[in-house]
Structure 1
């Protein structure tokens, strides 16, 4: 693969990140509210994701589902671009000279974990702002006087009250989630894609753009399921760490999960 293909991967990752936020942000808003309030002893209790979504629509309208979308667009777009670009370039460097095209765990796992560790530095501040915006809806226990008027207001107030390090609250947990999650995602993604292309060749089926897109959707979808199955508990801990107003609150994800 030529050098230009590396830039294509960064560009493709950027577009994928934008599409992810457009389609997935309402689900993410529901997820964050469930993680925040259904784990607190005296918080709001939602019966289900559907109940939570209905409450948001009833109190805030459709816009409520897209609360915190701006930092999410910035974070996820750059995260996706960097994840695919860094992963692809690291993988090429590690498998240089390798004869087999079959996915190799000793190449995929370190490449993906490294990409995940790098992107966690971009994701942590954007996700902190996103999560704080998402949990302060009219359905929450956050007093009106303490609410943020915009993502920028949230970032500025966080830095003023907690210092520059405050914007990186939950950084260790984000790094763990992204390193482990990306290693799982790309392992599943690469193997499913490789096996499906093998099946196509053996079946002598004509490979077309639609076939290729279908394989991409299936392998990416299964990779996504594997990602969240592996790291969802860490994501719960991250949401709690980033949205708590108590500066003395534990930032150890394992302590938090134990208390949950």
Structure 2
């Protein structure tokens, strides 16, 4: 029994790591465009982007595809560890709070503290990696950044930040990140668990006489829909 539980936790950490890497691969280019729009369109002397499409075109023209993934190294490392820890800690904490009760129906009194605790822990990893990522993204190849102030890579960025601002510089905005991750993940996992539960209940009701083993493709689809709904809920 103990071996099964350990195996389940191990799978949660691996699944979280894979999810983190996938998130960076698909989402980092959008994040780069967002960061550049936020920075340059609020500075009088900055480059003016008409919209996200114009910004993307300028990045591709001046920097190529690599420009869209500038700062991705720190994101890959940060998101891989962050997502792995989040999924693992959430699963273990939820199991501990549930105790011997093995209810398939989601319980908010278990989900919310488990997700909030996991979010608080991973914020200490996410804050430094996000700071480095944003500074690398903003830097780009813009002429406004003086040559001696440019970062050659994520490690150089982190070291210069520590040299100029101390270790606390890497955790600038740490409290905000902690609150965002705690509250955000509580909303995310609550929405995810409930949407997944009711979708599976609708597709495979107990009274249907089935063996309650959903088709693998259907289960993947339910997971994607549940995750999408949870992502939308967090964005609000």
Per the TM superposition, whether the score is higher than 0.5 is yes
State the number of aligned residues: 229
Instruction: Give the whole-Å Cα distance in 1 for the aligned partners of 2:38 and 2:121.
Output: 25
Is the counterpart of residue 175 in structure 1 residue 178 in structure 2? yes
Q: Which residue of 1 aligns with 2:84?
A: 81
Question: What is the SS of the residue equivalent to 2:110?
Answer: helix
Q: Which residue of 1 aligns with 2:226?
A: 219
Task: State which drifts further: 144-153 or 67-76.
Answer: 144-153
Q: 1:164 aligns with which of 164, 167, 179?
A: 167
Is the counterpart of residue 95 in structure 1 residue 98 in structure 2? yes
Structure 2 gap ranges (5+)? none
Q: Which residue of 2 aligns with 1:122?
A: 125
Q: Which residue of 2 aligns with 1:228?
A: 235
Question: What is the SS of the residue equivalent to 1:2?
Answer: helix
Structure 1 gap ranges (5+)? 230-260
Is the counterpart of residue 192 in structure 1 residue 195 in structure 2? yes
**Are the equivalent residues in 2 in contact too, given 1:55–1:139 (CA < 8 A)?**
no
Please state how far the C-alpha of 1:146 moved relative to its aligned partner. 1.3
Instruction: Give the whole-Å Cα distance in 2 for the aligned partners of 1:183 and 1:67.
Output: 30
Q: Which residue of 2 aligns with 1:111?
A: 114
Please state how far the C-alpha of 1:140 moved relative to its aligned partner. 6.5
Please state how far the C-alpha of 1:105 moved relative to its aligned partner. 1.3
TM-score by length of 2: 0.91
What is the RMSD computed on CA atoms of the aligned residues? 1.8
Task: State which drifts further: 30-39 or 123-132.
Answer: 30-39
Q: Which residue of 2 aligns with 1:26?
A: 29
Is the counterpart of residue 143 in structure 1 residue 150 in structure 2? no
Q: Which residue of 2 aligns with 1:67?
A: 70
